Amino acid sequence: MEKVDLKNLTLPELTAWVEGLGLKPFRARQIFAWIHRPDFTGFDQMTDIAKHVRALLAEKARLSRLEPARVEHSTDGTVKFAFNLEDGHVIESVLIPEDDRHTLCVSSQVGCAMGCNFCLTGTMGFIRNLTAAEIIGQVDAAIRLRMAASQQQQMDGWQTQGAPRWINNLVFMGMGEPLLNFDNLLKAINILMEQRGHDFSGRRITVSTCGIVPKMKQLGQQVPVNLAVSLHAVEDEIRDQLMPVNKTYPVDELLRACREYPLPPRRRIMIEYVMIKGLNDSPAQARLLVKKLHGIRCKINILPYNENPDFPYQRPDDETVENFRQILRRAGHTTLLRHSRGADISAACGQLAAQSGVEAT
Ligand code: SAH
Ligand code: SF4
């Protein structure tokens, strides 16, 4: 019989599994706390659990773990991880330090089915969904890297403050469309928010979507996370051209889903707007964006396009970006201008498209 990967189980699922073995439910809480320590290596580390129970666990269960096959450091401090998955596929995550905070950008799928025609991940096509364990594995690997680089006693930091001590924010903005891997996404978020494990609060987690309308509300109803929406254009003709998903869920439907998203108090939706020269960067388009966003509690993240030789698109000049931004600001919007990080190691937005067969180092 195939062993169960305990990293894939939420605490209620683990509890049911543990009870199925004839053990008391409190064992599940103990086991959960151990296995979600990023530096956990094996069942024999569980010193507060009897030896015969550990032997039973080792017989019935396994614990998957992602070790980076490659870690690249950018001159600006950004770190890109490439992981070889058990079936040989490769995914990437990016750790972005900002002042004293660290944001980890994680992947949710191998490749992406959505085919946005400016995005390198889109050119890979869809390969497969990641398991919850593979999503969490990216977080653990980044925490281990941070722990190793720190002077602190590793265990102390983990016990007192959990994962946010090492990674402040998690964003699902790596490879893939998270809302098309909905079940595993939810499972991973639930595991990561569990107090006995990583103890992330929902306000530290952001899920970005290209606009899978029916799943947006469901996400907000099930977990109190932040939502980011890759909007990029408010005219259907232009958005159709950039993002095939717009033909299924056009702009007005997408914006209606934003209005209906069950936002926790004092939070806002992040509207992502990749600015592409001559396509969506005019003052008239900025004014239309303001009009369309009316009534949506949001902040706008402007991302000047990261050019790529595979695509014909160009980044607008700084003045065009600034003019566009001023129009949004004068209308009362909070705007962030995201300067791309990690471009020298292909870690910037839209540059993740790992080739298979990264050699382990
Ligand atoms: N599939 C989800 C999650 C990926 S997020 C989504 O699309 O929202 C990755 C972000 O980077 C998206 O907003 C995407 O549109 C943006 N992006 C893709 N290619 C880019 C590029 N070349 N320059 C700037 N941003 C890009
Ligand atoms: Fe997929 Fe997002 Fe890239 Fe579109 S922008 S192809 S949805 S990863």
For residue 230 and ligand 1, the question of a CB distance below 6 A is answered with yes
Name which residue sits closest to atom 4 of ligand 2, judged by CA: 116
Which residue spans within the chain are E strands per DSSP? Answer: 4-5, 61-62, 68-73, 79-84, 90-98, 101-105, 109-111, 126-129, 169-172, 205-209, 226-230, 269-275, 298-304, 335-337
pLDDT of residue 67: 95
CA of 215 to the centre of ligand 1 (A): 18
Sign of the CA dihedral running 148, 150, 151, 156:
negative
Whole-number Å distance between alpha carbons of 209 and 112: 12
pLDDT of residue 358: 42
Whole-number Å distance between alpha carbons of 122 and 230: 14
CA of 176 to the centre of ligand 1 (A): 10
For residue 300 and ligand 2, the question of a CB distance below 6 A is answered with no
Name which residue sits closest to atom 25 of ligand 1, judged by CA: 349
Catalytically active residues, by annotation? 92, 349
pLDDT of residue 258: 98
Domains and CATH numbers, the chain: 4-62 (1.10.150.530), 68-355 (3.20.20.70)
Q: Mark the ranges of the chain whose per-residue pLDDT is less than 70.
A: 151-157, 159-160, 354-361
Name which residue sits closest to atom 19 of ligand 1, judged by CA: 350
For residue 114 and ligand 2, the question of a CB distance below 6 A is answered with yes
Report whether 300 contacts 285 (CB < 8 A).
Answer: no
Q: Which one, of 258, 172, 169, 257, lies nearest residue 207 by Cα?
A: 172
pLDDT of residue 224: 95
